[in-house]
A and B are shown apart, each in its own frame.
Chain A
Amino acid sequence: MVSLSWHAPAVLAAMLLIIGLIGLLARRSLIFVLMSIEIMLNATGLLFITAGMRWGNPQGQIMFIFVINLAGAELALGLILLLRLRNLLTTLDGDAANRLRDVEA
């Protein structure tokens, strides 16, 4: 069995996280924001598996299953909120959903 170095997946996870973060910060559409969050969650999942591989510990894979579950639940809630927001604001622009700001700021 080919012994894989843990470096490459860790770097990949970091890249995925940064891609997701940039998407989160740069995109205004809430659909893309949700997708960016998914990417970031997958990055962490990948990092768990990599870490499990590095230390030969199965707990990393258990954590990954947790993360998948979490992402699914979060996505369901996120999509509901997104639909409510679209009904309310008739747009999917995240910057328009700023009604909870301090009035004077």
Chain B
Amino acid sequence: MNHLLWLVPASPLLGAVILGLCGTMLPARATALIGTASVGIAALIAILIGLHWYAAAPPSHIFIQHLWTWLTLPGLTVDIGLYLDPVSLLMMLVITIIGTLIHLFSTAYMAGEDGYSRYFAYLNLFVAAMLLLILASDLLVLFVGWEGVGVCSYLLVGFWFQDAANGYAARKSFIVTRIADIAMLAGILLLAVKLGTLAIQPMLARATELWPHGGTWPTLAAGLLLIGGLGKSAQFPFQTWLPDAMAGPTPVSALIHAATMVTAGVYLVVRLHVLYLLAPDVLLTISIGAGITILLAALAALVQSDIKRVLAYSTISQIGYMFLALGVGAWSAAMFHFLTHAVFKALLFLSAGAIAMRLDHEQDIFKMGGLRTSLPLAFWSFLIGAASLAAVPIVSAGSFSKEMILGAVWFAPGIGPGLWAAGLLGALITATYSFRVVFLVFFGPTHTPVTGRSGAPIAVPLVLLAAGSLLIGWLETPSFLGGDRLVMTLLHPVLGSPASRSALTILIEAAGFIVPLLGIAIAYTLYRSGHWQRAAAAQPGALRRLLRSGFGFDALYEILLVRPFMALVGALRHDPVDHVVTLISATTLQLHQTLRRSQIGQLRRYAAWLMAGSIATIALLVFA
């Protein structure tokens, strides 16, 4: 079964090529079929490989499919190959299955839009690039996938390019991640130069062999790669691009900007965790940065009025939790949270899309309201997603993974309890802002009438993802709920087993269980008293404006980076070096303008000048 692995990225790529080359000639139904089926086939193969793996895993828990050699340079050979281990298997399953559901959803959501085939071509290309990213056996091939998803993100954010604001958002997301990618490329080159190979496993083996724990080179390499990961995952200080990326179609936000691409940074650190273990300073930086990200993004989400921006900030915050787990070395907890987050965040975005479809693309939560009865399916799926986001205990997937992270963080040496407190505060705010949206959108009076109807392509993904959000947490439960260890067992050969837990865990878990309920209670109280409705109607105060703009990072970067850069551009666009050259031509031209006035065609005047010149010459010869 494993030898079919190459088909997994190849099938969406083929779909993208077909749709890209002759999509405009195909009818819409054929476009939808090709777009969805190409990912569906990949999902089917991925599931088969997964089942096969479950029945009989390879002895080393690694399967490498070498395809061909890409580059052979003195001292460096790059092979195009696919590398399957439990981590990439998990990622592959999530990407292909959720990808299929989102493609299915898109067939209805994008129906009748201009560029229907272009949309599916981009989306297929994205899935192919993302699969190449996670399956790459070589860091350089991974980087190709990395840039591929970046390009597709750019193309899809700016999908409705007729509106200049969407083009601006697309450019912003592209440029911010590109700045981070430059650091990542530098890190890859550093590893290539210092270790002589970029094939991930041999490279990590050589790193542990050659580099001391906490040395300069591993810290530098891990730090540079981390910057790339933070950029892609929209973590502090690169978080500014993600809320603007919501300009794209909602299924795109679900797939790229929630479930898959933005977790690429998490995957990168997990993939290279051996290298990160050599760089404890970088791990510390990760966890502190993650703590900051969680709180900044959660507070910003608390005051947004656009439903997609709330979800965007919640994505930043939830990926912050994954990075928090990475910072304390809880790799499998991060992967588990990635799994649950991918399911429930895709569900939330698709529900938001399903609502927007029926409300004439209204996204302001204060203009919605009372949708509980008119849109029951969207209500239940959004409620389940929000419960999972808020980590409502037992019933939601999010609570299991968040518990696991907070439990692991508590036991981190040194700053563990501080980070745990930040994470817990973040969980409180998360529960508040997610149920603020639930109450405002689905309860109270109706503000916008509901039109149209939704078909099976909308309902099937919502139902399946909602079921996933409820059930997927049971793959991995705390000891007092049965202690299933399916995800841990799968990931164990690569990532090792998590640290054992002491008696204090019960208290920690109790705190983690109570806090989300407390957050929901706060949300309900503030909703009942009409606080949010009044705050939205009133003139926002300075604090509110600061929070709404995501702590003014856009304005800060505008002053610190954009303005100086544009000033430099303004200075350079007139080509100062060129002035030296143009000075010569300008002087010649000026002399020409002066001298041409003497050309008057008057013979007598010429003779006079001739005479004057002769006299002057003679005078010079005689007297000088």
Interface residues of A (CB under 8 A from B): 21, 24-26, 28, 33, 94-95, 97-102, 104-105
Contact = CB atoms under 8 A, between A and B. Distances in A.
Given A21-B611, A105-B596, A98 B601 contact: yes
7 interchain residue pairs of minimum CB distance: A101-B601, A98-B601, A102-B599, A94-B603, A102-B596, A101-B600, A100-B601
Given A24-B607, A104-B596, A105-B597, 11 more contacts: A25-B607, A25-B611, A28-B604, A33-B603, A95-B603, A98-B600, A98-B602, A102-B596, A102-B599, A105-B599, A105-B600
Contact of B608 (A25, A95, A99, A104): A25
A74 to B, nearest CB: 15
26 contacts: A24-B607, A25-B604, A25-B611, A26-B604, A28-B604, A33-B604, A94-B603, A95-B602, A95-B604, A97-B601, A97-B603, A98-B600, A98-B601, A100-B599, A100-B601, A101-B599, A101-B600, A101-B601, A101-B602, A102-B599, A102-B600, A102-B601, A104-B596, A105-B597, A105-B599, A105-B600
Contact of A94 (B597, B600, B604): B604
A28 B598 CA distance: 20
A98 B601 CA distance: 4
SS class, residues of chain A in contact with chain B: loop
A52 to B, nearest CB: 20
A98 B603 CA distance: 8
A98 B602 CA distance: 6
B490 to A, nearest CB: 87
B608 to A, nearest CB: 6
Mostly helix, strand, loop or mixed at chain B's interface? helix
A25 B606 CA distance: 9
B602, B603, B608, B611 pick with most chain A CB within 10 angstroms? B603
Contacts of A98: 600-603
Nearest to A37: B607
A103 B148 CA distance: 62
- B598, B600, B601: residue with the most chain A Cβ atoms closer than 10 Å: B601
A99 B607 CA distance: 17
Contacts of B598: 105
Contacts of B596: 102, 104-105
A25 to B, nearest CB: 5
A95 B601 CA distance: 8
B600 A24 contact: no
B604 A24 contact: yes
Contacts of B600: 98, 101-102, 105
B590 to A, nearest CB: 16
A99 B604 contact: no
A87 to B, nearest CB: 18
Contacts of A99: 601
A65 to B, nearest CB: 23
